[in-house]
Chain A
């Protein structure tokens, strides 16, 4: 099956959603990305990516319960779909294959090891 391609940022967002499990929503994803990838992301960028991923069928969402901390507004909670999961696995497999195919010592050393 021809899988739909993901942009790098989309892939990160999708992974982060998977990481966060039950509590994946806009701000949380942005914070997690900030923490893990060390890059500050705007909420709008995250929302845009989530929106695209949902359109591609890799994410599904539902509205959570109202919480007081957001002025009574509900969160939209995201979870990875089967398609999203397979896509992530595909990407990972492909990367692994590529890594495996790199002959030893071809990559310049990046550390003291």
Chain B
């Protein structure tokens, strides 16, 4: 009822009262003679506009009649009721109307948005290029890191029973030393399978002798990924067999299955099944099947798998080891099994414990020792397990996190660029927004327009990013040591996921400008009163600060990683790793070893030769011995220490210094029971006068395997493990291990020497001649750190690049906006230099603030990373100064390009422009 007076004429028509007097009467009853206001409002609200007039008219007519007939209260009630009965679809439905169809998401509008977006991009080519390049680089980095992360997380998930597969490990503590071993006792697996109904299957894999010389006919090749497994291996792990049946292939002794590539290597296109190969000294094996190459996302990669029955296993609980995998029955919790482990340990280990260590299990436990079996989900092995004796070096969850964070940051940086450039450029767009609003645009439509612009940019960037990934993938694979293929990105669920995330990124990057720009008031914009750009200045600066914070942190990280790498590679390791040649697999020489050695010694370039089964770097044997300081006293502390078996030439060949006493002497028959210690071992045993002290090795536990040794010398500590570990106590027994040979050489003509060595080798054996250099093997130990360093460097470069792109754009905008100011300044006598300083100063502040914030953050992060190394650098102050100086220099260079350009403009040009 928008016209309160109008109802009266309808009454006057039937009235004898003159109109004038009724008007007065009507006014006094005005509120009473109308239908209920709320009902009217309700009708106004829900009824479709094109129906409203007739409906309201009809209802009003009826209201007047009812009032006449039944009185006002009844009429009002009736009216309200009638309004409510109009709540029907036909009255609610709005009429489609040609003139009002430009709602935000209609196809016509979207087409228009895209047209406008395209024109805008073309008009501002520089900024469009900066935006698209920045986003493309960000997206490409993100995609690359996503490949890595997805791959790391997918380890061992392809097994059909992955969710109930566990690896049985040994956990415990002996004399204060933690026992964390990836394998388990040989009889443990079968015991579980037989006695515990929750265990569906147990598969054991022996990989401890993983390297064999494999011979087929007259050809010999060294194979490094060889294992022996129980016959149900292929039932447990979902590795498809191309030839042979899963249950049959590994049932017989001396049978073997090969992976596809190995089979092709040995047999070409022939059918390998039924053929034979020789595995090292284990004899002839018959090939019974071929399996598909094990996927890269597995925690082991065996190429040759022999049947476990070919090996003679030591069926003891405490002095044997084999990888043991179990499959639980569905719905059986691992906790139930874990709860029964103490019972199993009591039952099976007590007697052996007595024999081996001379103590009962309860005594053993009373002294704070423990021994139990643990279970780790197979899917956790790659990222969470770092036990002794892993099948392969595993990944690290830490790097998954670090790289994910870096990916997010780089993307964030690119988004920030977009936001900054759009808001900075809003001066030009503000007038457009004003005109659009005057012509009737809603804010929603303007938001749609700006978002479609950012979407367009994002998707163009995405296309470029995919191209970049495609091109950069081989290089990335080399760096990260992976073999990702591009097809992973465009297959399966990845593409929709990428598409959706790009949509989200477009929204994120476009949201701020969209909401800010579209909220301008047309009046103030068109009057030119709004100081555009100024209002979002602080935000731009804080966003730039964030960008440089990330960049500076990355620079600091890179510097520290590289310094640490340099440190460990150049730290004095206690032996001379230069000019040492390693000859591999010398055990294949058998009894010709002596002849080979003496041949070598005859060469003038060879200073010394030693049997080097145990080496301080690269592939080496490992052994650990139980040591007691007193004979026969079961209460005496049992030490579990690392041990080497070396000959009398070892320390001379490797250049290890003697601290006390003497080296082994071949002339002394008594030296068979002599022993050398390193300084750490002397400290561990608490010897004041180490030379002459006696120690007992407990052997395998039986009384007659116990032996007495006399310390004859002490070696200066040398790094026999990686720098991640502190130098551990080491006991060196006099013996020979022919696994490999170390040769100290002195030559300027290495190829010639290698040729000579190869000839001598060939004269003794038909096995392949393989060699490496000790310093290369040493450096290889830090390969993963080096890789991290390189990746960090690359990502730091990328973040700086993206951040600088943004800064470049901002500087360009500022210079553009202040053209006239610069002109006036120059007319009034400002020098080019002072103008450059004026323009650059603004950008220095965010970078400085970023430096201040980034320093503690980066310090903390890198401090955590360094904790992984027993030997590490101190984080020094100058690293931060250097990083800051670097960032400031780069920022200044970026900005000054624009500043100088702006300062050089002839003021006549810039002032005339109006």
Binds A, one of B6-14, B20-28, B213-221, B876-884: B6-14
CA of A112 to CA of B881 in the docked complex: distance in angstroms? 118
CA of A70 to CA of B9 in the docked complex: distance in angstroms? 10
Contact status A47-B58, CB under 8 Å: yes
A51 contacts the other chain (Cβ, under 8 Å)?
yes
CA of A72 to CA of B10 in the docked complex: distance in angstroms? 10
By a beta-carbon cutoff of 8 Å, the part of chain A in contact with chain B is 25-27, 30, 42-45, 47-48, 51-52, 63, 68-76
Name the residue on A nearest B5 (C-beta).
A71
Contact status B54-A73, CB under 8 Å: yes
| Residues on A with beta carbons closer than 8 Å to the beta carbon of B60 | 70-71, 73
Name the residue on A nearest B9 (C-beta).
A68
| Residues on A with beta carbons closer than 8 Å to the beta carbon of B760 | none
Contact status A70-B61, CB under 8 Å: yes
CA of A69 to CA of B68 in the docked complex: distance in angstroms? 14
| Residues on B with beta carbons closer than 8 Å to the beta carbon of A43 | 55, 58-59, 62, 82, 85-86
For chain B residues 78-133, which have a beta carbon within 8 Å of chain A? 82, 85-86, 88, 90-91
Within the complex, which residue of B54, B85, B88 is in contact with A26, where a contact is CB–CB below 8 Å? B54
Contact status B7-A48, CB under 8 Å: no
Name the residue on B nearest A26 (C-beta).
B58
B894 contacts the other chain (Cβ, under 8 Å)?
no
Contact status B3-A71, CB under 8 Å: yes
| Residues on B with beta carbons closer than 8 Å to the beta carbon of A51 | 90
| Residues on B with beta carbons closer than 8 Å to the beta carbon of A45 | 85
B316 contacts the other chain (Cβ, under 8 Å)?
no
Task: Known pairs A51-B90, A71-B7; list 14 more (Cβ under 8 Å).
Answer: A25-B54, A26-B54, A43-B62, A43-B85, A44-B86, A45-B85, A47-B86, A48-B90, A63-B54, A68-B6, A68-B9, A69-B61, A70-B58, A73-B54
Contact status A42-B85, CB under 8 Å: yes
A76 and B54 contact, Cβ closer than 8 Å, known pairs A43-B59, A44-B82, A71-B1: yes
| Residues on A with beta carbons closer than 8 Å to the beta carbon of B58 | 25-27, 43, 47, 70, 75
> Which residue among B61, B62, B64 has the maximum number of chain A CB atoms within 10 Å of its CB?
B61
Contact status A75-B54, CB under 8 Å: yes
Looking at the assembled complex, report how far the CB atom of B642 sits from the nearest CB atom of chain A, in whole angstroms.
Answer: 92
| Residues on A with beta carbons closer than 8 Å to the beta carbon of B62 | 27, 30, 43
Contact size range, B: 20 to 34
Name the residue on A nearest B8 (C-beta).
A68
B511 contacts the other chain (Cβ, under 8 Å)?
no
> Which residue among A63, A69, A76 has the maximum number of chain B CB atoms within 10 Å of its CB?
A69
B725 contacts the other chain (Cβ, under 8 Å)?
no
Name the residue on A nearest B93 (C-beta).
A51
Contact status A52-B90, CB under 8 Å: yes
| Residues on A with beta carbons closer than 8 Å to the beta carbon of B53 | 63, 73-74
CA of A47 to CA of B57 in the docked complex: distance in angstroms? 12
Contact with A along B47-79 (1 / 0, CB 8 A): 000010111111111101000000000000000
Looking at the assembled complex, report how far the CB atom of A102 sits from the nearest CB atom of chain B, in whole angstroms.
Answer: 38
Looking at the assembled complex, report how far the CB atom of A104 sits from the nearest CB atom of chain B, in whole angstroms.
Answer: 45
Name 26 A/B residue pairs within 8 A (Cβ), A-sorted.
A26-B54, A27-B58, A27-B61, A27-B62, A43-B58, A43-B85, A43-B86, A44-B82, A47-B51, A47-B54, A47-B55, A51-B90, A63-B53, A68-B10, A69-B64, A70-B10, A71-B1, A71-B10, A71-B56, A71-B60, A73-B53, A73-B57, A73-B60, A74-B53, A74-B54, A75-B58
Name the residue on A nearest B65 (C-beta).
A27
CA of A44 to CA of B83 in the docked complex: distance in angstroms? 8
| Residues on B with beta carbons closer than 8 Å to the beta carbon of A26 | 54-55, 57-58
Within the complex, which residue of B13, B57, B64, B91 is in contact with A44, where a contact is CB–CB below 8 Å? B91
CA of A45 to CA of B690 in the docked complex: distance in angstroms? 111
Looking at the assembled complex, report how far the CB atom of B49 sits from the nearest CB atom of chain A, in whole angstroms.
Answer: 13
Within the complex, which residue of A44, A68, A70 is in contact with B88, where a contact is CB–CB below 8 Å? A44
CA of A106 to CA of B59 in the docked complex: distance in angstroms? 46
Contact status A44-B85, CB under 8 Å: yes
| Residues on A with beta carbons closer than 8 Å to the beta carbon of B82 | 42-44
Contact status B6-A71, CB under 8 Å: yes
Contact status B10-A48, CB under 8 Å: no
A72 and B90 contact, Cβ closer than 8 Å, known pairs A43-B59, A43-B62, A47-B55: no
| Residues on A with beta carbons closer than 8 Å to the beta carbon of B64 | 69
CA of A24 to CA of B736 in the docked complex: distance in angstroms? 118
CA of A68 to CA of B877 in the docked complex: distance in angstroms? 91
| Residues on B with beta carbons closer than 8 Å to the beta carbon of A63 | 53-54
CA of A30 to CA of B65 in the docked complex: distance in angstroms? 13
Looking at the assembled complex, report how far the CB atom of A71 sits from the nearest CB atom of chain B, in whole angstroms.
Answer: 5
Looking at the assembled complex, report how far the CB atom of A17 sits from the nearest CB atom of chain B, in whole angstroms.
Answer: 14
Looking at the assembled complex, report how far the CB atom of B611 sits from the nearest CB atom of chain A, in whole angstroms.
Answer: 101
A70 and B90 contact, Cβ closer than 8 Å, known pairs A27-B62, A42-B85, A44-B82: no
CA of A73 to CA of B13 in the docked complex: distance in angstroms? 17
| Residues on B with beta carbons closer than 8 Å to the beta carbon of A69 | 9-10, 13, 61, 64
| Residues on B with beta carbons closer than 8 Å to the beta carbon of A75 | 54, 57-58
Within the complex, which residue of B3, B54, B61, B88 is in contact with A72, where a contact is CB–CB below 8 Å? B3
Name the residue on A nearest B58 (C-beta).
A26
Looking at the assembled complex, report how far the CB atom of B303 sits from the nearest CB atom of chain A, in whole angstroms.
Answer: 76
Contact status A72-B6, CB under 8 Å: yes
Within the complex, which residue of B13, B51, B57, B91 is in contact with A70, where a contact is CB–CB below 8 Å? B57
Within the complex, which residue of B9, B57, B86 is in contact with A74, where a contact is CB–CB below 8 Å? B57
A73 and B56 contact, Cβ closer than 8 Å, known pairs A44-B91, A48-B90, A68-B10: yes
CA of A75 to CA of B61 in the docked complex: distance in angstroms? 10
Looking at the assembled complex, report how far the CB atom of B846 sits from the nearest CB atom of chain A, in whole angstroms.
Answer: 64
Looking at the assembled complex, report how far the CB atom of B516 sits from the nearest CB atom of chain A, in whole angstroms.
Answer: 45
Looking at the assembled complex, report how far the CB atom of B71 sits from the nearest CB atom of chain A, in whole angstroms.
Answer: 18
| Residues on A with beta carbons closer than 8 Å to the beta carbon of B54 | 25-26, 47, 63, 73-76
Looking at the assembled complex, report how far the CB atom of A35 sits from the nearest CB atom of chain B, in whole angstroms.
Answer: 13
CA of A44 to CA of B58 in the docked complex: distance in angstroms? 10
CA of A27 to CA of B58 in the docked complex: distance in angstroms? 6
CA of A26 to CA of B1 in the docked complex: distance in angstroms? 19
CA of A26 to CA of B61 in the docked complex: distance in angstroms? 10
Looking at the assembled complex, report how far the CB atom of B10 sits from the nearest CB atom of chain A, in whole angstroms.
Answer: 4
For chain B residues 414-442, which have a beta carbon within 8 Å of chain A? none
| Residues on A with beta carbons closer than 8 Å to the beta carbon of B85 | 42-45
Looking at the assembled complex, report how far the CB atom of B3 sits from the nearest CB atom of chain A, in whole angstroms.
Answer: 6
Looking at the assembled complex, report how far the CB atom of B213 sits from the nearest CB atom of chain A, in whole angstroms.
Answer: 90
Looking at the assembled complex, report how far the CB atom of B56 sits from the nearest CB atom of chain A, in whole angstroms.
Answer: 6
CA of A42 to CA of B59 in the docked complex: distance in angstroms? 10
CA of A51 to CA of B6 in the docked complex: distance in angstroms? 28
| Residues on A with beta carbons closer than 8 Å to the beta carbon of B57 | 26, 70-71, 73-75
CA of A42 to CA of B81 in the docked complex: distance in angstroms? 10
Looking at the assembled complex, report how far the CB atom of A20 sits from the nearest CB atom of chain B, in whole angstroms.
Answer: 14
Name the residue on A nearest B57 (C-beta).
A73
Looking at the assembled complex, report how far the CB atom of B787 sits from the nearest CB atom of chain A, in whole angstroms.
Answer: 72
Looking at the assembled complex, report how far the CB atom of B64 sits from the nearest CB atom of chain A, in whole angstroms.
Answer: 7
| Residues on A with beta carbons closer than 8 Å to the beta carbon of B61 | 27, 69-70
Looking at the assembled complex, report how far the CB atom of A88 sits from the nearest CB atom of chain B, in whole angstroms.
Answer: 22
CA of A47 to CA of B64 in the docked complex: distance in angstroms? 19
CA of A47 to CA of B90 in the docked complex: distance in angstroms? 9
| Residues on B with beta carbons closer than 8 Å to the beta carbon of A27 | 58, 61-62
Looking at the assembled complex, report how far the CB atom of A77 sits from the nearest CB atom of chain B, in whole angstroms.
Answer: 10
Name the residue on A nearest B59 (C-beta).
A43
CA of A70 to CA of B35 in the docked complex: distance in angstroms? 13
Contact status A48-B1, CB under 8 Å: no
Looking at the assembled complex, report how far the CB atom of B163 sits from the nearest CB atom of chain A, in whole angstroms.
Answer: 59
Name the residue on B nearest A70 (C-beta).
B57
A48 and B88 contact, Cβ closer than 8 Å, known pairs A27-B58, A70-B57, A74-B53: yes
CA of A27 to CA of B55 in the docked complex: distance in angstroms? 9
| Residues on A with beta carbons closer than 8 Å to the beta carbon of B1 | 71
> Which residue among A25, A68, A71, A75 has the maximum number of chain B CB atoms within 10 Å of its CB?
A71
Contact with A along B524-548 (1 / 0, CB 8 A): 0000000000000000000000000
Contact status B56-A47, CB under 8 Å: no
Looking at the assembled complex, report how far the CB atom of A79 sits from the nearest CB atom of chain B, in whole angstroms.
Answer: 15
CA of A73 to CA of B59 in the docked complex: distance in angstroms? 11
CA of A66 to CA of B7 in the docked complex: distance in angstroms? 13
